[in-house]
Structure 1
Amino acid sequence: MPIQKPLVAALAASLALVLAASDADAQRRAAKKPTTPAITACSDFYGFVNKDWLTANTVVSGTGAVSALGQLQQRALLQQRSLLDDAVLNPQNDVQKLLGDFWASGLDEAAVERDGAQPIASLVSRINAIKRSKDVAPSIAALHQVGIPVVFNFTADLDLADLTRHVGYFSQGGLGLPDPAYYTREDADTRALLGRYTEYVEKILQLTGTAPDQLKADMQQVIDLETRIARASKPITSLRDPRENYALVPVAGFAKQFRQLQLADFLQAQGVSDDSVSMANQDYFTQVDALVRTLKPAQWKVYLRYQIGRAMAPYLSKDFRDADFQFNGRVLRGQSAPPIRDVQVLDAINRAAGPMLAREYVARYLPATTRSRADTIAGEVRTALGRAVDRNSWMSDAARAEARAKLEKLTIEIGAPARDLDYTVQPMGRTSFGSNMLIASTWHHREEMRRIGRGNADRRWDVLPQQPALAYDLAHNRLIVSAAALQAPVLDMEQDTAAQYGSFGALVGHELSRAVDTRGRLVDAAGAVRTWWTPQDESAFNARAGQLAVQYSAYDYPAATGLKVNGTLTRDENVADLAAVELAFDALSTAQPELDNATRESFFRSWAALWREQLSPETATQAASTSVQAPGQWRANGPLVNQPAFAETFKCKAGNAMLRKAEEQVSIWR
């Protein structure tokens, strides 16, 4: 809180007195002007509940947005910083010692400057030692091992034919520009972008050892090779469907099929012994294999050295970081300034050592009492969804039976995944952030590769526990609740039970409804990918969802002049928000059958407080056409106007904005 200087306060008070006494006539004239009606619970519940917050949290043009959930994210980042600061001063275990050294080395900018390009010196030396074409493939494999994917990507992901395990995925990659089309399109904008990219390539090559008189030639070598790789690549739009990227193939023939890339040896180097992998675009690897055979080793040396510098630039000295920001930050992402140093370092630690930080974060910031309360509420909301499935009128008997079976198998994971990670890592020091980044990246890659071939796919989360998140995992029929989410405003242990159902319980309902809605219908209770709704189920659901879309399309978009909410774009999220309130209120009513009015009020107030936000006009205008979620005002109010219990609680009457006629109300699970 800023401290007000006495002189400023005195002047402000004096000015207020002058204005109050200067023109009595003006006051009388002003009093006759029509006044804006006071906001009430039944006119705008969102504005009524969040009035003080909205007044205290404003945004100006060009500054983006501020929201309650955004503030939660910021708090989680501050908690991570606090944990790392303590790990620097007083580490309590081996993992904290690693994290403390990692954090301290990144914040010591003087040490980072002294280090220069030294962290990548051994990698560059290995590449410079390439003499023959057969030396290229082992160098590619070695870079993948330290977390620098070159030429192609190789990752662990779900086997779409068996969702209980991971397989290795070979896919296209190896480019410095985000879209292969940028290398071949001839329009002016693309040519201009490519021109900026060539400047960046030159700068990275200079920093990694190319002599000044050789820069242009080496840059052309890199661009030429990347262009060849781009021509072998599929359009980026074709990669959005996971099914198009999946094709299980045996690895037995890789030694002969890809002689130059030596992919059988590559897998061995990554510690992968599975007998099959996914390779949906074999032609890409055939063409790249031919490039290793036909292009001179000298060209591969320049390309691979550049890829090392490009990948590591954000973690090295300022000249590397400046080059990275000028192109990747300013040109590609439109950023006006790089993040401050501690933000950069924290991002790097989460990227390379996120699971290590997660272990310590959960231990510090997730008390057993909070975990237990979350588990209880989530379980009761799941039970409420089961009751809703049994009583709903729009599902067929077959769909209802399948939905029940899914809910019986649905699991709830609170705080962090059950992992079997090996935290054995090469020791870090405090003098070389870049070297620590490579140590952590090597560890991260090793642990990712260990997932391949095992029947433990459900031990993986797509979010880190230190990142606030609630999500329904469709592949494994489970609810994931991260440790960072279990604090205000999502689960405030200082609030009463009703408020906890109105916030956390409702968010659980939002996510659990996905198990049996238009998204959940794509995977059945056995984990098979199939549509288990009948056409009649889909038609009935769409009729209700369509009514909701019409409702939302009539709402003005806050802060965006003359725009309405796109009810069609936001339809599925709006349905889930309606389900959230329906299910959470049912769970609360069952847990506390004798609900008094104050308890009901607490529930609805907590729901509305979740969605408080302020948007700049620019952010609002963009969100109106792109966001699949309605703005906060309507995420709060939209479901409530369809809830008889809300109108009853706040005694709303016919004609009030927060009460729809009974025949206009939409229900999904009520």
Structure 2
Amino acid sequence: MTLRPLACALAIGLAATVALPADAAKKRTSKPRTAATSAACTDFHAHANAGWLATHPLPAGAGAITALGELDARATQQQIDLLDTAMRQPQDHVQKLLGDFWASGLDEAAVERDGAKPIQPLLARINAIRKTRDIAPSIAALHQVGIPVAFDFGADIDLADLGRHIGYFSQGGLALVDPAFYTRTDAGTVKMMARYREYVQTLLALTGTPAKRVAEEARQVIDLETRIARLHRPVASLADPRSQYARIATATLGGQYPRLQLDAFLKAQGVNDDSVSLANPELFAQLDGLVGNLKPDQWKTYLRWRVADTMAPYLSKPFQQASFDFRGRLLAGQDAPAPRAQRVREAINLAAGPMLGRQYVTTYLPPATRERAIEIATQVRAALVAAVERDTRFGPAAKAEATAKLAALKIEVGAPRRDLDYTVQPMGRGSFGANMLIASTWHHREEMKRIGRGNADRRWNVLPQQPALTYDGAQNRLIITAAMLQPPVLDPHAEIGVQYGALGALVGHEISHAIGPRGRMVDARGDVRDWWTATEAGAWSDVGNRIASRLGRHPYPGASGTLVNGPRVRDIALADQSGVELAWAAYRSAQPNASREAQQGFFNGWAGLWAEQVGPEVAVERAQNSAYPPGPVRTNTPLANLPAFGAVYACKAGTPMQAVPAERLILWK
């Protein structure tokens, strides 16, 4: 299991559809104003989303449907359309690669004829191992094609220098995600491990192990994985990125780990940096010992198994079925495999996602839409700068740091600024498994290029074709993917107020993290330090606690007898409040003479993001576990705190959608 040290710094918020069709709007304006006002002041989520809710009943068997889910489904269909076009009429080299990849995956007959052929070259390389010194080069070769064995190695932020990426050597190489599975003795784990042993035997047999040897080779695999698992730290202990960081000079690796040959490993990956992170030297010392102390044949069996397990979903049906029965049905609780086209698209995104992203941006992101997004985001950032300047909770030093950090904040829209090298071995339409390995090898090569000084902002950790809007704390940048910039999150034909209420509020939500409780740990220069005082931290905690207390009085929609867990959803609600306030300020600055009806578009834009229909079982599960407020609460809470909402809809103080002045929770005063 690969654990990215800074994965926690990248929280992705997906936009959602604002279903406010013109005919629904006309119906509302035809009603008496008093009726519309009463509905808006009672439950604005239901009022603004009436059209969407009426046309989106919860389908039988569905746990929930959301406007966010509609956006994701649209982006998925757009990807399929691109792949179909590339398959039929490719216009350039990248489209040819994608079209061939897609066609080979959809051709189930060809996949069946292929059997295990795609992995035969890898198995032959492994079977050629004769001596201990042959093991490390085979480990390095498998990493090159995207199959991590024995350990993990990947590029991520250097915690001592946020302007660069370094390579992280970390624990990994196991087929089961939690190392504790290999050593626990409870009945459930014992039963699961018995099924796991059957799974290992099945795949070993499919790769050519004779029937009389299958049980023994499966025992060898599990024995070696158990030895490695005992050396791993518990997964929970890795949550802190600092626990995975320890920079050492690459020049020392060959001498410290001679059997693993980590210096040669780096050269094989194309990495020439002067340092790497290796935070668990005891693990790698023990792995080095295992290479020397275990017979090469046991390592060969383990490596063959890792190839078969990793590649099983992309090979013929016996491999696919074995993988699904264990990983899908047993571990994930799935009833049936996803449709073939869905699995092929997911494989392409996994191995060649940036290729598809390049085509997506070209097709679905007009330059004018991108510029509009940048304009709105820039104005919302300016509103936050102004809010900081007048805020009484920040002292002079914190104000100066926050202002400098916001001035340095980069706004990146559509796709990463740096393109990739698309020099790739021709794929052809004959072998899906072989194409998966070709694409994975290319992807690994490009990932390794992230390592080095000045490369920290080289790539995103999200694909352009995936709807996402996120603040990247390590790089102090706002990322808005191309897939996010489509109606209604940013409809270039929609009223400007709707654009600010949807995209603008989401931007305000995310960039508030730059100077909030998370952003306070990294200053404007990228140095990791806390630049808040205890008094400033206490003032923010007080606002957050008050919001949590207020939310905790709300019944959870659809979960009878359950209240919203205020402390759990506090951080999201705090950022939502910030986002709505900042977007409103930016909108009024850009449109100071907007009519009352135009201003209503802003609030409709916000409400439409959270339209949803949720069944009781899902509602109960979310009430117990989700860090996100339910849609109606997420819509209504920040608006009820905003005096401007009450003014626009003539809501009297004390109504559900307009808090009395003494109870208003305004973040930026």
Q: TM-score, normalised by structure 2?
A: 0.93
Q: Which residue of 2 aligns with 1:270?
A: 269
Q: Which residue of 1 aligns with 2:587?
A: 588
Query: Helix, strand or coil for the counterpart of 1:457?
Result: coil
CA distance, structure 2, for counterparts of residue 392 and residue 655 of structure 1: 27
* CA–CA distance in structure 1, aligned partners of residues 558 and 540 of structure 2: 32
Q: Find out whether 1:658 has 2:657 as its counterpart.
A: yes
Quote the Cα distance in structure 1 between the aligned partners of 2:543 and 2:262. 52
Segment of structure 1 superposing worse, 52-61 or 430-439? 52-61
**Could you tell me whether the CA contact under 8 Å between 2:380 and 2:508 is conserved in 1?**
yes
Give yes or no for the alignment of 1:550 onto 2:556: no
Identify the residue that residue 646 of structure 1 maps to in structure 2. 645
Q: Deviations over 1:310-330 (max 9, x none)?
A: 000011111111111111111
- Residue 53 of structure 1, CA deviation: 1.3
Give 1:337 shift: 1.3
How far is the alpha carbon of 1:128 from its aligned partner? 1.1
Secondary structure at the aligned position of 2:42 is classed as coil
CA contact (8 A) 2:37 2:650 kept: no
Distance 1:615 1:62 in 2: 11
Asked if the contact 1:506–1:607 (Cα under 8 Å) also holds between the matched residues in 2, the reply is yes
Q: Report the Cα offset of residue 654 of structure 1.
A: 3.5
Aligned residue for 1:8? none
- In 1, the alpha carbon distance for the partners of 2:252 and 2:377 equals 49
Give the Cα separation in 1 of the matches to 2:598 and 2:252. 67
Cα distance in 2 for partners of 1:554, 1:38 equals: 25
Equivalent position of 2:480 in the other structure: 481
The 5 A counterparts of 1:596-607 are 596-607=595-606
Deviations 1:629-665 (A, max 9, x none): 1011111001001000001111112442111110100
Deviation track 1:52-107 (CA, whole Å, cap 9, x = no partner) reads 21122233675222111111011001000000100011111100000000000001
Task: State the identity as a percent.
Answer: 57
How far did 1:420 drift? 4.0
Report the residue type matching 1:178 in the other structure: V
Partner Cα distance (2:175, 2:318) in 1: 18
Q: Unaligned regions of 5+ residues in structure 1, if any?
A: 1-35
Question: Distance in 2 between the 1:337 and 1:122 partners?
Answer: 31
- Is this contact kept in 2: 1:61–1:617, CA < 8 A? no
What is the letter of the counterpart of residue 117 of structure 1? A
Partner of 2:174: 175
* Change beyond 3 A, Cα 1:37–1:565: farther
Tell me which residue corresponds to 1:104.
103
- Show CA shifts across 1:599-650 (max 9, x none): 1111111110111011222221111122111011111001001000001111
Contact 1:521 1:533 (C-alpha < 8 Å) held by counterparts: yes
Between 250-259 and 323-332, the greater mean CA deviation after superposition: 250-259
Helix, strand or coil at the partner of 1:526: coil
> Quick check: 1:394 aligned with 2:359?
no
Q: Distance in 1 between matches of 2:390 and 2:534?
A: 20
Instruction: Specify the code of the residue in structure 2 equivalent to 1:500.
Output: Q
Alignment correspondent of 1:74: 73
- Residue in structure 2 matched with residue 667 of structure 1 by the alignment: 666
User: What is the match of residue 439 of structure 1?
Assistant: 438
Q: Count residues in correspondence.
A: 635
Structure 1 counterpart of 2:411 = 412
Shift, 1:454, TM fit: 3.2
Residue number in structure 2 paired with 1:143: 142
The one-character-per-residue Cα deviations of 1:267-289 (angstroms, maximum 9, x if unpaired) are 11111111211000011011111
Contact kept in structure 2, 1:330 and 1:336, CA below 8 Å: yes
Question: Is the alpha carbon distance of 1:309 and 1:646 closer, same or farther for their aligned partners in structure 2, counting shifts above 3 Å?
Answer: same
Counterpart amino acid of residue 281 in structure 1: N
Counterpart for residue 186 of structure 1: 185
- Asked if 1:364 is matched to 2:363, the reply is yes
Match of 1:307? 306
Distance 2:102 2:130 in 1: 38
Q: SS at the partner of 1:127? A: helix
Cα offsets for 1:358-414 (capped at 9, x unmatched): 111100000011011111111111111111111122222221111111111111011
For residues 468-513 of structure 1, the C-alpha deviation after alignment (integer angstroms, 9 at most, x for no partner) is: 0111111111110100000122111221111100101111111111
1:117-140 superposed Cα distances (whole Å, 9 cap, x missing partner): 100011111111111111111111
Name the SS for the 2:39 alignment partner.
coil
In structure 2, the residue corresponding to 1:570 is in which secondary structure? helix
C-alpha displacement at 1:178, in angstroms?
Answer: 1.1
Does structure 1 residue 460 correspond to structure 2 residue 470?
Answer: no
Distance 2:437 2:44 in 1: 52
Do structure 1's residue 245 and structure 2's residue 221 form an aligned pair? no
Match status 1:125 vs 2:90: no
For the residue of structure 1 that corresponds to 2:453, the secondary structure is: coil
Give 2:11's aligned residue.
none
- Look at both structures and tell me which one has the larger radius of gyration over its CA atoms: 1
The normalised TM-score by structure 1 is 0.93
Q: Which runs of 5+ in 2 are unaligned?
A: 1-34
Query: Hey, what does 1:469 align to over in structure 2?
Result: 468
What is the distance in 2 between the residues matched to 1:610 and 1:117? 46
Letter paired with 1:48:
H
Tell me, in whole angstroms, the C-alpha distance in 1 between the residues paired with 2:106 and 2:419.
Answer: 31
Matching residue of 2:23 = none
Aligned pairs for 1:614-653 (under 5 A) are 614-653=613-652
- Structure 1 residue ranges (4+ consecutive) displaced by more than 3 angstroms after TM superposition: 36-39
Distance across 1 between alignment mates of 2:317 and 2:586: 55
For residue 23 of structure 1, what is the aligned residue in structure 2? none
| Cα contact 1:60–1:616 (8 A) shared by 2 | no
* Deviation digits for residues 566-621 of structure 1 (CA, Å, limit 9, x no counterpart): 11001011011011110011001001111211011111111101110112222211
Taking the aligned partners of 1:55 and 1:48, their CA distance within structure 2 comes to: 11
Partner in structure 2 of residue 26 of structure 1: none
| 2:518 match | 519
Could you say if the C-alpha distance between residues 85 and 373 of structure 1 is closer, same or farther in structure 2, counting changes exceeding 3 Å?
same
Q: 3-state DSSP class of the match of 1:204? A: helix
Please state if 1:422 is matched with 2:421: yes
Task: Determine if contact 1:553/1:564 at 8 Å carries over to the other structure.
Answer: yes
Instruction: Note if contact 1:384-1:587 (Cα within 8 Å) is conserved in structure 2.
Output: yes
Cα distance in 2 for residues equivalent to 1:64 and 1:490: 24
Could you say which structure has the greater relative contact order, defined with CA pairs below 8 angstroms and 6 or more residues apart? 2
Q: Can you list the C-alpha shifts for 1:24-50, whole angstroms capped at 9, x where unaligned?
A: xxxxxxxxxxxx999700000000111
Q: In structure 2, what is the Cα distance between the partners aligned to 1:60 and 1:370?
A: 34
